[in-house]
């Protein structure tokens, strides 16, 4: 990741994993907007186990095994069971070997995320690119694909994008998961005003690659959390969020519209912010910075805008 801008977390060192997963996972309708469901209703949807997944030490290794044995299987990586995230926020790692010594305090039943973020230097934050897929939140339901040696390989169904239309795949310490449903906070009023109100609560929060909380957040994590509070589940990354909602011309922007930055094709989008009105954008800029308000005119590569709630 560039130190001056955020990028799609599924690029770079994850390219091999993405290529395999993209070829195997059944595509989903990327233009759909999913409304949050109560955890209680999701519990009834748990399917029975249908296959035994071969042992693997990383998501890359597992998907390679699945490619060799199940290339024609439409229900790739069928979950053994479902589980729910216990702590307020947990890290979802690309591999079981991804965490570094500084990350150990985030891998317990009660992860100390505040201390962890405080200890991360700029270099350590930049080094999360290629290690951290995303973060999961309290009450999030995850599909457990494989468990062993203290780890669970999961699909985070509430966060889609890139090569993961059915949910981001990664590793979470098993101790951070519950086999019983955990209710998530109820969404607020379904409006752009709700999204803006929640987004403003993150002002001053430091930028963190793959971050999804007040301990640290990235640009698409900010828009994701803002609209999640309004009852809308966006894709996880900026380029995928640019597929959602209705396109809006620059002269017709309204508060709450998502504004995107990047040159040319949608896949080149590297940043997203929330339009506040009066030419101002709320956003999480890059590693080493914090959530702030900037004029839209500050960008030379404005790509376009989408209205999520009409």
Domains in the chain, number: 2
CB 252 within 8 A of CB 234: no
Domain boundary among 125, 155, 178: 178
Do 109 and 168 lie in one domain? The reply is yes
Whole-model pTM: value is 0.79
What percent of the chain is predicted at pLDDT more than 70?
75
Do 116 and 236 lie in one domain? The reply is no
CATH number, domain containing residue 285: 3.90.1720.10
CATH number, domain containing residue 30: 2.30.30.40
The mean per-residue pLDDT over the stretch 212-228 comes to 97
pLDDT at residue 8, as a whole number: 54
Give the H or E element holding residue 126: helix 122-126
Helix 192-200 and helix 219-228: axis angle, to 10°? 130
Do 166 and 280 lie in one domain? The reply is no
Model confidence at 216, pLDDT cuts 50, 70, 90, reads: very high
Range of the domain at 146: 12-38+75-178
DSSP secondary structure letters along 230-248 = TTEE--SSHHHHTTSSEEE
Residue 153 lies in a domain: yes
pLDDT (tens digit, 9 = 90+) per residue, 150-193? 999 999 999 998 889 999 999 999 999 999 999 888 888 899 99
pLDDT at residue 179, as a whole number: 94
Do 115 and 201 lie in one domain? The reply is no
Do 149 and 31 lie in one domain? The reply is yes
pLDDT at residue 162, as a whole number: 81
């Amino acid at each position: 990741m560039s130190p001056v801008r955020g990028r799609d977390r599924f690029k770079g060192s994850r390219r091999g994993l993405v290529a395999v997963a993209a070829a195997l996972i059944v595509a989903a309708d990327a233009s759909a907007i999913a409304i949050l469901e109560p955890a209680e209703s999701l519990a009834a949807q748990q399917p029975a186990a249908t296959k035994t997944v071969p042992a693997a030490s990383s998501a890359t290794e597992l998907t390679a095994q699945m490619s060799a044995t199940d290339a024609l299987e439409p229900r790739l990586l069928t979950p053994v069971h479902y589980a729910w995230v216990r702590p307020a926020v947990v890290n979802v790692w690309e591999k079981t070997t991804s965490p570094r010594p500084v990350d150990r305090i985030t891998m317990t039943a009660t992860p100390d995320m505040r201390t962890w973020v405080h200890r991360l230097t700029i270099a350590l934050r930049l080094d999360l690119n290629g290690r951290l897929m995303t973060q999961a939140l309290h009450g999030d339901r995850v599909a457990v694909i494989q468990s062993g040696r203290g780890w669970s390989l999961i699909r985070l169904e509430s966060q889609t994008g890139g090569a993961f239309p059915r949910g981001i795949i990664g590793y979470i310490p098993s101790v951070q998961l519950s086999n019983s449903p955990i209710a998530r906070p109820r969404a607020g009023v379904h409006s752009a005003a709700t999204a803006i109100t929640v987004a403003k609560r993150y002002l001053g929060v430091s930028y963190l690659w793959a971050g999804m909380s007040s301990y640290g957040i990235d640009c698409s994590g900010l828009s994701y959390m803002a609209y999640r509070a309004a009852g809308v589940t966006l894709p996880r990354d900026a380029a995928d969020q640019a597929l959602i909602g209705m396109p809006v011309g620059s002269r017709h922007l309204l508060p709450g519209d998502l504004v995107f930055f990047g040159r040319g094709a949608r896949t080149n989008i590297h940043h997203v912010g929330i339009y506040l009105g009066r030419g101002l954008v709320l956003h999480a800029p890059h590693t080493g910075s914090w959530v702030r308000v900037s004029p839209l005119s500050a960008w030379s590569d404005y790509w376009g805008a989408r209205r999520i709630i009409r």
